[in-house]
Structure 1
Amino acid sequence: GDVSLGKGIGFNRGSNINKYLNNFLIDTANKENIPWHITAVPGPTPTDASVIHITREGVPCALVRIPLRYMHTPSEIVSMDDVESAIKLLVSVIKRLDSSINFKPEF
């Protein structure tokens, strides 16, 4: 998908992204009117989620991405609106969590 600064946070879809947790994040973003977009990841993500999701019986993982330019350089650039959206999303997700929510896939 198109990733641009200031147009919202990103969610990945891919093999090591838990679809239940990802949908929970997207649903929360929609309820809070937080702008977002989807990006496809054809293989493992270049994050710790690639290893964490296969630990023991599996750990549900999803990613909240903040669009940026010039990663890992002294001039890395982000939109503060995207950073604030990510913070708002994570706070809202934590408030929605309770013991009835299960992100584990059923087989």
Structure 2
Amino acid sequence: MYKTLLLIVLVVVLCLGATVGFFNAQTVEFYYLFGSAHLPLIALVIFVFGFAVVITLALTMTRIFGLKREIRRLHRQLRDSQTELRNLRDLPLNQEQK
């Protein structure tokens, strides 16, 4: 069931993409820092979307790696605290009370 639904969604997205590509086939002039280029509008849209995905992934991965590093640090701190607590529990109780 899940694979069938995924396949249907994929086909719908591909059809929508083909439709957008068909209706945006005209050539536009794209000006960038070092010059300009004549590109089909859909190629420009796909390029900008891909560039945004790459930048977003790069920013997200840096955040994820930072959080994983913090998780490792917190796990070490927890392990050390548990070891210290276990050692304190193993200490003999002082029977003399003043």
- TM-score normalized with structure 2 length: 0.25
Larger radius of gyration: 2
- TM-score normalized with structure 1 length: 0.24
Higher strand share goes to which structure? 1
Higher helix share goes to which structure? 2
Q: Which has the higher contact order (CA 8 A, sep 6+)?
A: 1
